[in-house]
Structures are given as C-alpha cells and as structure tokens.
Amino acid sequence: MDFPTIIQILDSAVRLMTPLLLACLAGLYSERAGVFDIGLEGKMLMAAFTAASVAYATGSAWLGLCAGIAGSLALSLIHGMSSITFRGNQLISGVAINFLASGLTVLLGQKIFGLGGRTPSLEGAARFNEITLPFADALRPVPVIGPIYADLISGHSVLVYLAFAFVPLTWWVLYRTRFGLRLRAVGENPASVDTAGVSVTRLRYAAVGICGVLCGIAGAYLATGISAGFVKEMSAGRGYIALAALIFAKWRPWSALFATFLFGLLEALANRYPNLDLGIITVPSMFMSALPYILTVIILAGFVGRAIPPRAGGEPYVKER
C-alpha cells in the first residue's frame, strides 16, 4: 500500500465518518441528558429526504440544509413529547420514529416526485460541493505534508468541516459551561437538578433539540453532500452504527471522533478492496461491507470494555419526596 493510496483511503474515511460523527454527537447530547435515542436513524433519514427535496425545489443546498434540520427537529419534538412530557418508553418512541421516517420518506417521495421513492438528482448549487482550502494547490508538491493538506484536509464539503468543529465545541460546552454541567447532571441524577431549582424538562428538551439539529445536518450531508439526492433507506443503519460508536466512545466527544473514524475507515477499506486478497484466501466483498456492522455487534455485546451509560438514561423523571 503506497502513500497516495493511504491518503485516498483516509480521505474516503473522513467523508464516510462525517454523518456518523454528527449522529454520534447528536446522540451524545441526548443521552448525556438522560434521553436514550435510537431514533437517530429515522431522524437522519427524514432530514436526508427533506434536505434533498427542498434543495431540488429551490436549487439551494443551504435551504436544503435548513429543511433537513427542520425535518429532523420535528421528529425530535415527537420523541421529546413522548419521552419527557408524557414519560413514555424512550426505546419504543425511538423505534416508532425510525418506522415513521422509513415509511413517510418513501411515501412522500413517490407522491411528490413519482420516482419510486427517490428524489431527482441534484446538481450544482443544490449540493454541497467540495471546497478547496487556500494554498492547496501550491502546497501539493511538498513531500508528505503537501498531499496530506491538499488531498486529505482540503477538498471536502463545508459540512465535513462543520462536523469536525463540533467535536471541540461539544467538549467545551459539556465541560466548560453552565449548560453542560446541568446537562450532564440531568442525565446522571435529575433529582439533583430539580432540587437545585432548575427545570429538568427544559434541559432535556434543549438536549433533544440539539440532537435534532445535528441529525438534521447529518441527513442533509447524506443527501446533498456524499450523494446527489435522496434514495430510499439511504441512512443504511448509520444511526445504529453511531449509537454503537457512542457506547464505544463512552459518551465522550473526543472519543466519539476516534470511534466514528474507525467505522469510517472500515467502510472506506471495504469500498477500496471489495475482494481483499490475503494470498491464501480471498475475503469476499460481502464480508468486507459487513465489517462496520460486525464491529457494531461486537461493541454492543460489550466486548470492548465496560461502558457506563449516564445513570438516569432511559428513565422519565418523576418528582418524588
């Protein structure tokens, strides 16, 4: 494997990890506040659909992004209502949201565009195109650093940079601000927040809202960044992979970056080497594409160390004496 190939694989990994990273951080906010969210998948899918539709109709990727965020937020609101206000079961609500998004996107897509659930292909300003960072071309000839800057760091859509910026931002919010302190507290022991005179409900809605925004960006990136339009079930389990990455990362922002990078890398490798020839045997392509999912299962089965979730996660808060 030569240097340019490595750069290409890493470059591909960065693209592929971006929706995972956004969804993982989305889940991080929600679960740190004590609201489990397996509806990341559905929210991403809904966002992909609304983003692609509006981007197609208006020709603006940015308006598409707004629509994606709005679509995802709407589902977040449903999840918030059922799990915070009405103290319902958060897992069931999440599953319902996934089903809802899966059915609704195809139904609306067929009704509006008549392409069997797809949206028409997006072109030009309707997509987030790759941006070239300054001096990329000038630096390219420099050995090692040149290709890393020009081919790996430069040349992604703006949403990729946004996603990476969210990692330090999330860390800072979580550990350096009042909001972050309260957010973490409400996921560990909501009674402590309540007795301190702070509204548990408002905090949890805020967290679920942030989760919706980040899932919206992730979905918009799927439909208007990586791809050129919406295809049915295009989230392809990324919401669940993001959840696995979140557990792997033990609900910490920087670890989330590395966890999602690992998944992105596996996917990139599978794309690059559909039939990995190890000399004695050739690994079939199905196995290679299944790698991220296999890793998900391994992580969820608890083979990678003990991950302690936020203590009040999954439980609606009921005031007690």
Partner 1 sequence: MASTPGTDTAPAIELRGISKAFGPVQANKGIDLVVPRGTIHGIIGENGAGKSTLMSILYGFYRPDAGEILIGGKPTAITDSQTAIRSGIGMVFQHFKLVQNFTVLENVILGAEDGGLLRPSLSRARGELKRLASEYELQVDPDALVEELSVGHQQRVEILKALYRQADILILDEPTGVLTPAEADHLFRILRGLRDEGKTIILITHKLREIMEITDNVSVMRRGEMVASVKTRETNPTQLAELMVGRKVLLRVDKAPAQPGAPILSVRGLRMVDTAGVERLRGIDLDIHAGEILGIAGVSGNGQTQLLEILGGYPEKGARLEGTVTLNGQPLPLTGSDARARRQAGVGHVPEDRQVEGLIMDFAAWENVAFGYHDAPEFQNGLLMDNAAIRADAAGKMQRFDVRPPNPELAAKNFSGGNQQKIVVAREVERNPDLLLIGQPTRGVDIGAIEFIHKRIVELRDAGKAVLLVSVELDEITALSDRIAVMFDGRIMGERLPDQATVADLGCLMAGVDPATTAPEDAITPATAPGLDEGVR
Binding positions for partner 1, rule: CB under 8 A: 175-182, 184-185, 188-189, 191-198, 311, 319, 321
Q: How near is the Cβ of 186 to partner 1 at its closest, in Å?
A: 9
Q: Which residues of 286-307 are buried (b: 16+ CB within 10 A; e: fewer)?
A: eebeebbbebbeebeeeeeeee
Q: Find residue 276's DSSP bridge partners.
A: 283
Q: How near is the Cβ of 316 to partner 1 at its closest, in Å?
A: 17
Residue 37, exposed/middle/buried by CB under 10 A (0-12, 13-18, 19+)? buried
Q: How near is the Cβ of 189 to partner 1 at its closest, in Å?
A: 5
Sign of CA dihedral 296, 229, 216, 95: negative
CB nearer to partner 1: pick between 135 and 175? 175
CB nearer to partner 1: pick between 172 and 254? 172
Residue whose C-alpha is closest to residue 20's, from 294, 249, 311, 301: 249
| Residues 213 and 23: beta-carbon distance below 8 Å | no
How far from 258 is each of 18, 170, 211, 268, 269, CA to CA, in Å?
12, 15, 20, 15, 16
Q: How near is the Cβ of 33 to partner 1 at its closest, in Å?
A: 13
CB nearer to partner 1: pick between 87 and 176? 176
CB nearer to partner 1: pick between 13 and 33? 33
CB nearer to partner 1: pick between 205 and 251? 251
CB nearer to partner 1: pick between 196 and 286? 196
| Residues 204 and 79: beta-carbon distance below 8 Å | no
Alpha helices by DSSP H, listed for 196-307, are: 200-221, 238-248, 253-272, 285-300
Q: How near is the Cβ of 272 to partner 1 at its closest, in Å?
A: 41
Q: How near is the Cβ of 177 to partner 1 at its closest, in Å?
A: 6
Describe the crossing of helices 285-300 and 238-248 by its angle, rounded to 10 degrees. 50
